[in-house]
Structure 1
Amino acid sequence: MLHLYWGDGKGKTTAAMGLALRALGHGRRVVVLQFLKDGTSGEIALLRRCGAEVHACPNAKFTWLMTEAERAEARQHNTAALRAALDTPFDLLVLDEACAACRHQLVDEELLQQAAAMAKQGKEVVLTGRDPAPWMQDAADYSTELRAVRHPYTHGIPAREGIEY
């Protein structure tokens, strides 16, 4: 099954990581690939301790702050990391921030589509992010939109360590 957690609301990654933790608890093999994130958030350490294989993006930064050279480097790294993830046996593959990586051409889109298509071969695949590509929406077995109704950031309240990051 292909899961898509998308939208401007909080909780996309949290939902995906909760599914990963549940799968690990049932002895499933889990691979997580985080695009645009450096792999230092709290849930990643726990998932690794529980047996998940995790790939992250070194030198992660917001896309609008990237130079063309940084974009090229990120695309190369992300595509290689996705290839490595696909070469690892898994029951659940989480591709966190896949929507943004695809939209900003920070990963080979054809390879990303191949990863998503593995959901039709009995694997569980999760895509997260804002503004999914039309092919993601069309392919999704589960499509859950998380919509921001209220968020502290809009009132100047920053993220809290251990809760949001």
Structure 2
Amino acid sequence: MIHLYWGEGKGKTTAAMGLALRALGHGRRVSVVQFLKDGTSGEIAPLRELGAAVYTCAEAKFTWQMDKEERRLARERFTELLSAALREPVDLLVLDEACAACEAGLLDAEVLRAAVLRAAKQAEVVLTGRVPMDWMLKSADYITEMRACRHPYERGIAARAGIEY
């Protein structure tokens, strides 16, 4: 089964990590790949402590801050992370910000598509991101669109550690 959490609203990663926590609580094997994130968000350490395999890129940075060489290296690294996660037997595979990594050209969309469709034959696969590709919308069994109705950022309130990041 394929889950897709997408949209402009807050909560995509939170929903995916909540599903990972639930799966771990039931003794399931979980792998999480975080694209475009450096692995310092608050959920990473507890998930590892509970037994999840977590793949992140410590040198990740915003796409608009990357030069051509950094983009090439990120594309290689993200492909490596995906490959490493696919080598592990899992019941749940979370691919956080996979939509954005593809949209930015930092992850080959066909490589991701093949990986997701193959993995979904034996595991639950979760994709998150703001703008999904058409194949994601067509292939997903669960689709949840997160829509922003109101956010403190609009009033100049910065994100708070442990809540928004």
Q: TM-score range by the shorter chain?
A: over 0.9
Q: How far, CA to CA, are the matches of 1:25 and 1:120 in structure 2?
A: 21
Q: Under a length normalisation based on structure 1, what TM-score does the superposition of the two structures give? A: 0.97
Measured on the aligned residues, the alpha-carbon RMSD in Å equals 1.0
> 2:164 maps to what in 1?
164
- Distance, in Å, in 2 between the alignment partners of 1:120 and 1:129 is 18
2:33: which partner in 1? 33
User: Where do residues 4-153 of structure 1 align in structure 2 (5 Å cutoff)?
Assistant: 4-118=4-118, 120-153=120-153
TM-score by length of 2: 0.97
Which residue pairs with 2:155 in the alignment? 155
Which runs of no fewer than 5 residues in structure 2 stay unpaired?
Answer: none
Distance 1:7 1:137 in 2: 12
| Separation in structure 1 between the aligned mates of residue 95 and residue 70 of structure 2, nearest angstrom | 20
Percent of aligned pairs with the same amino acid: 67
Give 1:62 deviation, angstroms. 1.5
- State the Cα distance separating 1:116 from its structure 2 match: 1.5
Question: Is the 8 Å Cα contact of residues 86 and 119 (structure 2) preserved in structure 1?
Answer: no
Code of the aligned partner of 2:136: M
Q: State the distance in 1 between where 2:41 and 2:23 align.
A: 19
Say whether the 8 Å CA contact 1:118–1:125 is kept in structure 2: no
Partner of 2:2: 2
Q: Distance in 2 between matches of 1:52 and 1:103?
A: 27
Equivalent-residue separation in structure 1 for 2:111 and 2:39 (angstroms): 22
Q: Secondary structure at the match of 2:4?
A: strand
Structure 1 stretch 57-66 or stretch 124-133: which is displaced more?
A: 57-66
Give the Cα separation in 2 of the matches to 1:89 and 1:111. 19
| Per-residue deviation, residues 60-100 of structure 1 (Å, max 9, x unmatched) | 22111211111111100000110011011111000000000
Q: Equivalents in 1 of 2:88, 2:110: separation in Å?
A: 19
**CA deviation profile, 1:136-162 (whole Å, cap 9, x unmatched):** 101100110000011111211111011
Corresponding pairs, count: 165
